[in-house]
Structure 1
Amino acid sequence: MHVKPFTRRQAVVLAASLVALMPGLSQAQAKLKVAAVYTVPFEQQWVSRLHIALKAAEARGEIEYKASENVSNADYERVMREYATAGNQLIVGEAFAVEAAARKVAKDFPKVSFLLGSSGKPMAPNFSVFDNFIQEPAYLSGMVAGGMTKSNKIGMVGGFPIPEVNRLMNAFMAGAKEVNPKVEFSVSFINSWFDPPKAKEAAFAMIDKGADVMYAERFGVSDAAKEKGKLAIGNVINTQAQYPDTVVASALWHFEPAADRAIKLVKEGKFTAEDYGPYAMMKFKGSSLAPLGTFEKKVPAAIVAKLKAKEKDIVDGKFSVKVDDSQPKSSAK
């Protein structure tokens, strides 16, 4: 039996029919267009986590990624709208100071998915929120600090006293107290997310009053500790390579679990408004305590043993670090 070959027109119709039968096929093959709007530089601790996770997805060939840094609060809405209008399917960023504007844009673009750092709740149908819930490794880093201080005085310099910062500081303080009940804390906020000179000055003041371990919630604190020959505990990113004799440990945030989930759901057409906060927890590999590295042999063995036991209990769900969003207070005289 002789079968006539398909005409070009028949082949096009058949291909279109197959795509219609498999609606996810064409979307899955095309790269997802993702845009990000950041109010601070790419290298700022918190934003760097988002940027790195999205750059990794781009390197894997999963997404097309564009981002704007140092966008002022007044300009945030305009930049978001431009990205949404340009056909980006997922928009990522931090809405903390621009909540109303960001949510307004999401409402105006219901077919675009939004994943934004926020203190608020998800907003149906397309506005998901996340945060760096890394209080678990913050608690562990506090245990290290409590075990390393000789003066029993720890200095803590934060950006703003908002829940996202407070919960990490409170967890750190609780961890330090567990291994060293005598420890006292000096706490101050510089009211900026990125002002290393101001953070450095605040740290100097605490070191002058006897603090020998500094909690570096902001850039600039580790510089002060290094200059004065004191120790520092890092936050969100690991800077031990830059400060090998200063930064003992760091509570790390990994945005990859949240970013990868959002990308997958958008590609599948299943993205909905939800809270991605839990994906920052240790059981999802959204956070971890950085390796002690250059301080491996310098942290007392008894502290390391307690640290490992506590870390296991957290991952196994046997110990829960309290989420305390209240503003931490100084206890040092």
Structure 2
Amino acid sequence: MIGPLGATRAMAAEPIKTAGVYTVPVEQQWVSRIHQAALTAQARGDIAYSFSENVSNTDYARVLREYAEAGNTLIIGEVFGAEQEAREVAADYPNVAFLMGSSFKEDAALPNFAVFDNYIQDASYLSGIIAGAMTETGNIGMVGGFPIPEVNRLMHAFMAGAREMNADITFQVSFIGSWFDPPKAKETAFAMIENGADMLYAERFGVSDAAKEKGVLAIGNVIDTQAEYPDTVVASAIWHFEPTLDKAIAEVQAGSFTAADYGIYSFMNEGGASLAPLGTFEGKVPENAMELVMKRQAEIKSGDFVVEINDEEPKSS
């Protein structure tokens, strides 16, 4: 637990000096949501925010250390490719709160290192219902970055939703081995369309471009791109990082930040996920699908329906 430092700040009501360290550009889907939440908190006066983007995994620990040395007392980021190194840095700066995207869990032996993840399987499941209702060929292509838990669980939830509408849907699943390679994602999507897909799950940038060019539909992930693809993106599962960050800010302000799993703040019933407005597709999704979406959404929020969290790598089927 980070005590005196946080308690002093709470009494002074000063903005928390906060740094973001990202391995990709801040416009990349996943990181953009963290970045946006930080900008919102800064606009409220809760934090003073600076960031570094496109930091390589080999450089990640060095950049973390530099921000800690510079007096930042809250550092956010994603350590999927530099997990051990990041935790070693955190151990050297016990009065700095680290809130990191991670595939692993918190460790009580490292009390200033909390983890989070985008558990938006609830919204992904709802978007899958819409996809299952909108595909005419029953063939859906799914393009992801890497088969890690935070991607796998969203794909499985989407697939489960789609099967609610059509148990016989075929899925083409492929991972491009990159978090930000739109040309490769686009090329992979083209191959799926050639193989019969008329609906694409756009976990990566580039997929919706392929769908647009070939006149097929797409489902977005993490951010809402409907305005950019009004004739292509039917629905999107949106991640809201604000509940996660706001919880960390409150803990730092109170001097009570400690090792914890912040993943639950991405759940729909915590305000961490939502289904984006359908926009130009309003009224075009079959009525029975939208009725099921509304029913399941209410049940998810009440706790009467729980979307399965499956972190195993999804396969084509």
TM bracket, shorter-chain basis: over 0.9
Residue aligned with 2:58, SS: helix
Runs of 4+ more than 6 Å apart: none
Structure 1 residue 302: deviation in Å? Answer: 1.1
**Residue aligning to 1:164:** 150
Corresponding residue to 1:304 among 258, 280, 290: 290
Instruction: List runs of 5+ in structure 1 lacking aligned partners.
Output: 1-22
Q: Does 2:90 align with 1:99?
A: no
Q: How much does 1:220 deviate?
A: 0.2
SS of 1:55's equivalent in the other structure is helix
SS of equivalent to 2:94: coil
**Partner of 1:326 in structure 2?**
312
Residue equivalent to 1:264 = 250
Distance across 2 between alignment mates of 1:179 and 1:151? 13
Which of 230, 233, 241 is the aligned partner of 1:244?
230
Map residues 1-333 of structure 1 onto 2, 5 A cutoff.
24=8, 27-123=11-107, 124-331=110-317
Deviation at 1:26, TM superposition (A): 6.3
Mapped to 2, the partners of 1:28 and 1:150 lie a distance apart of: 60
The 2-side partners of 1:201 and 1:126 are apart by 42
- The answer to whether the Cα contact below 8 Å between 1:163 and 1:326 also exists between their aligned partners in 2 is yes
Q: Deviations over 1:72-106 (max 9, x none)?
A: 11110110000000110100000110001100000
Cα RMSD after superposing both structures: 1.2
Instruction: Tell me which amino acid in the other structure corresponds to 1:63.
Output: I
Partners of 2:289 and 2:297 lie apart in 1 by 12
| Structure 2 counterpart SS, 1:249 | strand
- Offset at 1:182? 2.0
Q: Please identify the structure whose Cα radius of gyration is greater.
A: 1
**Distance of 1:114 and 1:46 partners within structure 2:** 18
Query: Which residue identity does 2:197 align to in structure 1?
Result: A
Deviation at 1:32, TM superposition (A): 0.8
Q: 1:268 to 1:31 in 2, by over 3 A?
A: same
Q: Unaligned regions of 5+ residues in structure 2, if any?
A: 1-6
* Equivalent residue, structure 2, for 1:10: none
Secondary structure class of the residue paired with 2:59 = helix
Q: Given that residues 138 and 172 in structure 1 are in contact (C-alpha distance below 8 angstroms), is that contact kept between their aligned partners in structure 2?
A: yes
- Counterpart CA distance in 1 for 2:58 and 2:258 is 28
Q: How many residues align?
A: 310
Q: CA contact under 8 A between 1:162 and 1:327: conserved in structure 2?
A: yes
Aligned partner of 2:235: which letter?
A
CA distance in 1, matches of 2:293, 2:237: 13
Residues 282-314 of structure 1, C-alpha deviation per residue, up to 9 Å, x if partnerless? 010000111111101110111111110011111
1:168: Cα distance to partner? 0.5
Structure 1 contact 28–268 (Cα < 8 Å) conserved? no
Structure 2 Cα separation of the partners of residues 112 and 294 of structure 1: 46
Letter in 1 for 2:50: K
What is the rounded CA distance, in whole Å, between the counterparts of 2:12 and 2:209 in structure 1?
Answer: 46
Q: For the residues of structure 1 that align with 2:183 and 2:103, how far apart are their CA atoms?
A: 27
CA distance in 2, matches of 1:81, 1:232: 41
* Residue aligned with 1:235, SS: strand
Inter-partner Cα distance in structure 2 for 1:85 and 1:57: 22
Amino acid at match of 1:74: T
Letter in 2 for 1:230: V
Deviation at 1:28, TM superposition (A): 4.0
Q: TM-score, normalised by structure 2?
A: 0.96
**What percentage of aligned pairs have identical amino acids?**
64
Which whole-Å CA distance do the structure 2 matches of 1:24 and 1:171 have between them? 43
Letter in 1 for 2:86: A
- Aligned residues of 2:10 and 2:255 also touching (Cα < 8 A): no
